[in-house]
Copies of this chain bind each other. A is one copy, B any other.
């Protein structure tokens, strides 16, 4: 481990740079807690990876296993395993790629869409009491923040170059 001296922003610092620093660290922390809570509050043995994968397929449509791995930010062999589980549950279907016998198109099935939708609804129902007291303005603030964050995170998923995985 390199032990180069680093300057760490201190909460309370003025300056856009420090604000951004704590904004991002707080964002990651709260995201981790939300994710953990979501997983914990949903019964069933499916992990976050399963739902992330289904969500990608619903949002972007069928794609190859390798592409799917990139869009889900997992290594290809990991995606092979996840897809194997999804195929077994019949939540996705493999479609032979006519132009390349090595490849498959992976597409979400009607059953998969249903399960994903159910899972989301259960989650929303579980979280709803915690957020029921938000005012219209506050709800609007959260909505705007999500709409700001979403495309920027998506960017990192889609362009592997702008966001190197593991190692610098």
Contacts and interface: CB of A to CB of B under 8 A. Distances in A.
Contacts of A35: 28, 31-32, 35, 48
A101 interface: no
Interface string A10-28: 0000001001110111111
B34 A28 contact: yes
A126 B166 CA distance: 11
Given A34-B27, A73-B40, A143 B52 contact: no
A30 B167 contact: no
Contacts of A36: 48, 52, 72-73
Interface in A126-163: 126-132, 134, 136, 138-139, 141-146, 148-150, 152-157, 162-163
B148 A16 contact: no
Interface residues of A, number: 70
B23 A139 contact: yes
What is the oligomeric copy number? 2
Nearest to A151: B130
A35 B138 CA distance: 24
A97 B95 CA distance: 60
A28 B120 contact: yes
A168 interface: yes
12 contacts: A16-B136, A16-B139, A19-B139, A20-B132, A20-B139, A25-B123, A27-B142, A30-B149, A35-B35, A43-B166, A142-B145, A145-B145
